[in-house]
Structure 1
Amino acid sequence: METYQDLSRLVSPRSIALVGASDRSGSIGARALENLMDHSDFKGDVYLVNATKPEVAGRKAWPDVASLPSVPDTALVAVPAEHVLAVLEQCGEKGVRFAIILTSGFGEAGEEGKAAEQTMKEIVARTGMRIYGPNCPGLTNITERLGFTFSPSFRHDLRGGPVGLATQGGGLGRNVLQAMDRGIGVALWSSSGNEVDLQVSDFIHYMADAPDIKVIATLLEGVNDGRKFVAAVQHAARKGKPVVVLKVGRSEYGRKAAQSHTASITGSAEVNSAVFAQLGVVEVDDIDELIDTAWLFARGMPRQGGALAIYSGSGGTAALCADMVGNAGLKLAEFAPETLAVLRDALPSYAAIDNPIDTTTAVMAKPELARTCLQAVCNDPSVSLVLLPQALEYGDITKLAADITADVQKESPVPMLPIWMSERQGGAYKVFADAGLAPVRSISKAVKAVERWMGYADWRARADIDFKPLMQTAARPVADVPTRALSEPEGKAMLRAAGIAIPVSRVAATLAQARLLAREVGYPLVAKVVSEQIQHKSDVGGVVVGIHDDAGLEAAWESIHTSVKRNMPDARIDGILLEHMAAPGGLEILIGVSRDPVFGHILTFGLGGIYVEVFKDVSRRMLPLSATEAEAMIREVRCFPLLDGARGKPRRDIAALTALLVKVSDFVVAHGDHLVEMDLNPVWVGVAGEGALPLDAVIVMEQGEGGK
């Protein structure tokens, strides 16, 4: 069970020491002092620490933390890197609860900086003081107007609201705050930098409990502790607070940039995305999408099966918006008769009233018609959200319509989402922003936000909120532990013992023995080389299929030995595995398990053979799997119609495949402390009633488990 410290005295301290306080214009210490004293509404005690001056900016200063007259809750550290460790030692000895390290030049700067960070961890372990940073812009509590930061923009970024923002880097986090200019409001921004101690996960967990926060937006460069992250986002889900994430470092270029920036573990993009989706974390692709999506959640929670209304004064704009809604698989609402009656009475006969709505230019002549129509649409029982695409800026006319929209929104049971398509921003844009409607800058961005918003309702409806991932109970992976790939007979024996159906097979050490065993196994056969040195048997000519008689068996025996000796002369052949061939016409599927260093064991499902590499059509899950989740994995892949009987083909045994996935999951749970990876490829899937059989199995264990 992951534990989290109460961060309330970091977010809202009763007293604070600014170590490195300065009156030198432009310095970090001076900017931090200005934000704290001039632009914050801090009512607690402030202690300034300066090693060379008894007074800073007209206020008394102390030479060091040790000489302070009382113990501050938090220390804001703004001294050069070479002095930071000494300051932290004094803070820890003094009994300071939290230290915010603004200074850079640590883990992101090389080996010497990493060594300093290790010392910081030792200080935390020894004193109990928690460290935030280093290499961070500080902490901003906008609800209470507290700026523990050196940012010159703090004074301008003070629009409060229900979004909690947890980031690692500072620049993109500040970018989110500056979206306040189009109407979003933020309660708290944490930017945890190199995360020597406190991590993004600590703040997600804190924000999940914070009464002034409805939704959590996070910018991740990497996840340093997968267990803690999973526990934090699950806590947020149980509290009914969506987590929206933008993950940086999804390409090789991005990974390198993220590592040099905050020295984070970026992880596999595919695994990260799979974990996010499984846990209901809403993943976005860009910074404006993070803002749009988070703010939509802040304005209202979606309901499952909801539908949209499109309201515009331009027929072409309404049609374009409807196209994008349809292409995204979203649903337009069917208006109730009473809604249609209001629209029919208010608008001219040539207006389109049957969703999407085109009011035509009638509302320009009579703007109050917009109030009547919008109220009717917002109150329609089938409408969950109203899209308002605005193609043009018409000065006072547009502003008046925006005033009416903002007024109607105050009483509306559903959110209205303005889409500001014009490059020209006038008074209407400001009206929307001031009303907290945060206009989105394109139809495609708006539809993406709505798609994710509504998708979260679907996830909530099917989610197991109390799901306990195997990673929370299995042993943590240890670097550089020796591993061993089990032979195919060994691996299949383990699977068979776990109740997984495996084709009948035997291992022959000699050709004479092979002839006898062939009759026991039964023709037709497949013959495979058995060697600890060979995992990919086909690559060295170590597999022969379609053996129907003794003559074919003798030829296969000779072929395998000759090919293996030619391709891998140093490999020791321990025997030949003889296995009864599956019936023709089966579909080949891949089931793989890998142990991700951040999120633990991940199961992958998709087309088998070479297709998984070509099409990359797979689904992934953390384990353990329920039967419901296993079937969802199967239905999630694009190739599912092949399993479901596309174009007259027979339907495959999906029930047997589902049961196999669950048994594989159970196998991994049983061996989770030592299982490194497993590859069942191909898995033969017959038609309904014929079953699903792993035909090949590669299992890699830590040394000492499952073998020598």
Structure 2
Amino acid sequence: MTARPDANGLWFSDLTRLVEPRSIVLVGASEKPDSIGARTFENLTVYSQFQGDLYLVNPGRKEIHGRPCYPSVRDLGAVPDLAILAVRADMVLDSLRECGECGVKFAIVFTSGFGETGDEGRAVEAEMRAIVANTGMRIYGPNCPGLNNMNARLGMTFSPAWRIDHARPGPIGVATQGGGLGRSFIQSMDRGVGIGLWCSGGNEADLEVSDYIHYMADAPDIKVIVTTLEGVRNGPRFMAAALHAARRGKPIVALKVGKSEIGAKAAASHTAAIAGVAEINSAVFRQLGIIEVDDIDELIDVASLLSRATPTGKEQLAVYSFSGGTAALCTDMVGIAGLTLSKFAPETLEALSRALPGYAAFDNPVDVTAEVLVNAEVGYAALKATASDPNTDLVLVPIPVEYGKTSAMLADSMVRVQSEDSTPIVPVWMSDRTGEGHRKMIEGGLMPMRAVGNTVLAVKRFIEYGKWRAQFNPDWRPLAEAAPRKAEGDSTALSEAGGKTLLAGAGVTVPGGVVATSADEAARAFRNVAAQGTGKVVMKIVSAAITHKTDIGGVRLGIASEDAARAAFEEIHANGCKAAPADRIEGVLVEPMLPSPFVEAVVGIHRDEVFGHVCTFGLGGVAIELFKDVSRRLLPLTPQSARAMIAETRCHELLKGHRGQAAFDIEALADTLVKLSDFVARHADRIDELEINPLAVRPQGQGVVALDAVIAFRGTEPSQW
């Protein structure tokens, strides 16, 4: 078995002989009815089309159903590509060692009773990984339902559902952690969805979802990848696999469960505090081009649509129905979703006017009236004209009721037109009653959806993915793929003054301030600093132990005289000593007060434990926690991604110049985001959190100024970086 690095240097094993083995040994084969060993044997021999060598191991049997049975893998006289283990939990480790030592490439472990049971079970899984390290054999499972290769009609599973699960092979690959949600998707075959491969890795003691995604990205028979996730075990590998799929042009549709966050950890910065697990996951998915959905129906609808066409992001829609009210409902939902109806070309309107009665509505949306229910050729001609329109990229056909033979006639027209025209026709079967028409659509490859709202949402996801593809930079790689491990030791916060010194060294503009350690020094600092700005100064407590200075009375604005500076020092210093030990107080920072106008933004970068450093940008000041008007990106940022982050937020309207006001310096803001990204990238092992709140964005051409700074680091002091 060979392992190969992807373009990012992360190693992924070639899973070809797991998915399509030339030879299999079933360890724990049995004739006992309904046992795992018996059902697996039956699936391999009766309900599969496996043409390779099948070996059986059971020390208590000489043969099973006329096939020879061996006492151990060592006795086979051959080395199979794959071992399937259908044995008790206490026999799994010995069986795995034997397979690995004999040179077996892969092992599928059905057995449960490991990591899901607690620490003792996790310790056994650690021993499984040791077997992988010592022998090179890769392990699929344990606690899994097996692997189903529908396109090869090979069921390496004990499930009695396999006999019908291969009914409709196709271009969708499915990679799941759990079996139930995966099988729910698999059963969408009954709706016409073609599925080629299902990998459900259970506890993922060794191989994980990332490995299956990476394999499917290269598999020639897979066009779309579907995944259901409870969590991402290894962020860099997952991101590498997703980007590998993106570079291969394979969309990934993901359902992430466990989105709610209970007990968010305390963090020094606002941006880290509001960056919940679900928010980070969603931001990472968007950046990687993964289409995140909210339930199984949406997963099915989006994947089925992607399996039929590749979006450009510029799609325009036509609505076609025999019911005026239904056409209006669908059109409303298209408009609410922000999608675009196509404007029919003159030749399309002419063809529709010839085909339809004069009272029909043939300008998009098309209401063909009940005439199509009695005249098959009218329905065919009208739908043909609609699908052939040069401005139309996709046709929605909402069907409100089951009409027996007339529904079947409509289905025949749709299947016929789809065979002649590449524009996807998407039927929406809205009735709870199905019949011959519904069946004909499925048999014709049309994959009817179940509700207008679901359909429009799926189309929106489809188009958004096309927009993402159009701007995707295949050369971009997340920082976490190459970043060194975080430095040893606990995280330590710098004071604002220390943080601003670092930022200034990174090229970020900061006020020219002075740290005063006495009231007299504060007065002298006022004389030197006030002249730099408005004639007034801002004074703030300086202590790494005090992050939220305003809360403890540690900030005073608009100081306009030396006497006021002395008094402010005494008050601020006293408040600081109440909030932190005196030896943790460095003094009071005296800075020039920045003249208006400016917009308060926030930039925060924090280390996510799964995906690495994430940048958050949005409306700053106290508004960040109230409005949470933010966008997020993985590092490193580029000038293009920095500008895109800014444009995604509502505060972008303020920055552009709201209601005739002058515009602010968006280019300087984007440049600062990139500088901060570069700074963190250079010290990725040390920096845990960095936040500037507020970052004052001044009028166009006047730049930005970091008015506050929080930096938390680990390892050596910044002076030694």
Where on the TM-score scale, by shorter chain, does this alignment land: which range? Answer: over 0.9
Matched ranges for 1:492-641 at <5 A: 492-522=500-530, 523-568=535-580, 572-641=584-653
Query: What corresponds to 1:263 in structure 2?
Result: none
Does 2:27 match 1:15? no
When the two chains are superposed, the root-mean-square deviation of aligned CA atoms in Å is: 1.7
Does 2:325 match 1:316? yes
Distance in 2 (CA, whole Å) between partners of 1:292 and 1:567 is: 56
Shift of 1:365: 2.3
Confirm or deny: 8 A CA contact 1:219 1:245 kept in the other structure.
yes
Query: What corresponds to 2:247 in structure 1?
Result: 238
Shift of 1:368: 1.2
Match of 1:130 among 124, 138, 146: 138
Distance change in 2, residues 1:254/1:15 (3 Å) = farther
Secondary structure in 2 aligned to 1:383? coil
Shift of 1:66: 2.3
Q: What are the superposed Cα offsets for residues 233-277 of structure 1, whole Å, 9 maximum, x if unpaired?
A: 11111111111111111114799xxxxxxxxxx981111111111
Match of 1:166 among 175, 185, 210: 175
Q: What are the superposed Cα offsets for residues 359-393 of structure 1, whole Å, 9 maximum, x if unpaired?
A: 01111221211111111111111111000000011
Does 2:657 match 1:645? yes
Does 2:93 match 1:85? yes
AA in 1 matched with 2:519 = L
Confirm or deny: 8 A CA contact 2:606 2:689 kept in the other structure.
yes
AA in 2 matched with 1:348 = P
AA in 1 matched with 2:201 = S
Does 2:421 match 1:409? no
Q: What are the superposed Cα offsets for residues 180-226 of structure 1, whole Å, 9 maximum, x if unpaired?
A: 00101111110111111111111111111111111111111111111
Shift of 1:569: 5.0
Q: What are the superposed Cα offsets for residues 280-330 of structure 1, whole Å, 9 maximum, x if unpaired?
A: 111111111111111111111112322001000011100110111011111
Match of 1:73 among 54, 78, 81: 81
Distance in 1 (CA, whole Å) between partners of 2:431 and 2:43 is: 36
Distance in 2 (CA, whole Å) between partners of 1:48 and 1:692 is: 71
Confirm or deny: 8 A CA contact 2:537 2:558 kept in the other structure.
yes
Q: What are the superposed Cα offsets for residues 659-682 of structure 1, whole Å, 9 maximum, x if unpaired?
A: 111111111112112111111111
AA in 2 matched with 1:143 = N
Query: What corresponds to 2:714 in structure 1?
Result: 702
Distance in 1 (CA, whole Å) between partners of 2:276 and 2:508 is: 32
Secondary structure in 2 aligned to 1:445? helix
Does 2:312 match 1:300? no
Distance in 2 (CA, whole Å) between partners of 1:205 and 1:348 is: 54
AA in 2 matched with 1:10 = L
Does 2:228 match 1:216? no
Distance in 2 (CA, whole Å) between partners of 1:254 and 1:664 is: 29
Does 2:459 match 1:450? yes
Secondary structure in 2 aligned to 1:288? helix
Query: What corresponds to 1:378 in structure 2?
Result: 387
Matched ranges for 1:93-242 at <5 A: 93-158=101-166, 159-242=168-251
Distance change in 2, residues 1:616/1:321 (3 Å) = same
Distance in 2 (CA, whole Å) between partners of 1:641 and 1:252 is: 31
Match of 1:366 among 375, 382, 391: 375
Shift of 1:600: 0.7
Confirm or deny: 8 A CA contact 2:108 2:142 kept in the other structure.
yes
AA in 2 matched with 1:315 = G
Does 2:410 match 1:398? no
Distance in 2 (CA, whole Å) between partners of 1:100 and 1:608 is: 52
Q: What are the superposed Cα offsets for residues 443-502 of structure 1, whole Å, 9 maximum, x if unpaired?
A: 111011111111111111111121111111111347x73221112111111110111111
Query: What corresponds to 1:427 in structure 2?
Result: 436
Shift of 1:131: 0.6
Distance in 2 (CA, whole Å) between partners of 1:57 and 1:568 is: 79
Does 2:468 match 1:459? yes
Distance in 1 (CA, whole Å) between partners of 2:64 and 2:49 is: 20
Distance in 2 (CA, whole Å) between partners of 1:571 and 1:397 is: 86
Shift of 1:54: 2.5
Confirm or deny: 8 A CA contact 1:97 1:130 kept in the other structure.
yes
Distance change in 2, residues 1:470/1:379 (3 Å) = same
Secondary structure in 2 aligned to 1:465? coil
AA in 2 matched with 1:90 = E
Does 2:356 match 1:344? no
Distance in 1 (CA, whole Å) between partners of 2:191 and 2:115 is: 36
Query: What corresponds to 2:272 in structure 1?
Result: none
Query: What corresponds to 1:289 in structure 2?
Result: 298
AA in 2 matched with 1:563 = N
Distance change in 2, residues 1:294/1:571 (3 Å) = farther
Confirm or deny: 8 A CA contact 1:222 1:267 kept in the other structure.
no
Shift of 1:532: 2.7
Secondary structure in 1 aligned to 2:46? helix
Q: What are the superposed Cα offsets for residues 13-57 of structure 1, whole Å, 9 maximum, x if unpaired?
A: 111111111222222222111111111111111111113223334
Shift of 1:570: 6.0
Question: After TM superposition, which residue ranges in structure 1, 4 or more long, deviate above 6 angstroms?
Answer: none
TM-score normalised by the chain length of structure 2: 0.94
Confirm or deny: 8 A CA contact 1:165 1:189 kept in the other structure.
yes
Query: What corresponds to 2:450 in structure 1?
Result: 441
Distance in 1 (CA, whole Å) between partners of 2:437 and 2:486 is: 56
Does 2:46 match 1:53? no
Distance in 2 (CA, whole Å) between partners of 1:32 and 1:69 is: 23
Query: What corresponds to 2:497 in structure 1?
Result: 489
Matched ranges for 1:9-48 at <5 A: 9-48=17-56
Query: What corresponds to 2:5 in structure 1?
Result: none
Distance change in 2, residues 1:61/1:603 (3 Å) = same
AA in 2 matched with 1:559 = E
Secondary structure in 2 aligned to 1:593? strand
Confirm or deny: 8 A CA contact 1:502 1:695 kept in the other structure.
yes
Confirm or deny: 8 A CA contact 1:163 1:185 kept in the other structure.
yes
Query: What corresponds to 1:251 in structure 2?
Result: 260
Unaligned 5+ residue runs, structure 1?
Answer: 256-265
Distance change in 2, residues 1:705/1:385 (3 Å) = farther
Secondary structure in 2 aligned to 1:635? helix
Distance in 2 (CA, whole Å) between partners of 1:515 and 1:554 is: 6
Distance in 1 (CA, whole Å) between partners of 2:545 and 2:308 is: 59
Shift of 1:124: 0.5
TM-score normalised by the chain length of structure 1: 0.96
Distance in 1 (CA, whole Å) between partners of 2:40 and 2:703 is: 67
AA in 2 matched with 1:587 = V
% identity of equivalent residues: 53
Distance in 2 (CA, whole Å) between partners of 1:106 and 1:323 is: 52
Query: What corresponds to 1:260 in structure 2?
Result: none
Query: What corresponds to 2:6 in structure 1?
Result: none
Shift of 1:647: 2.6
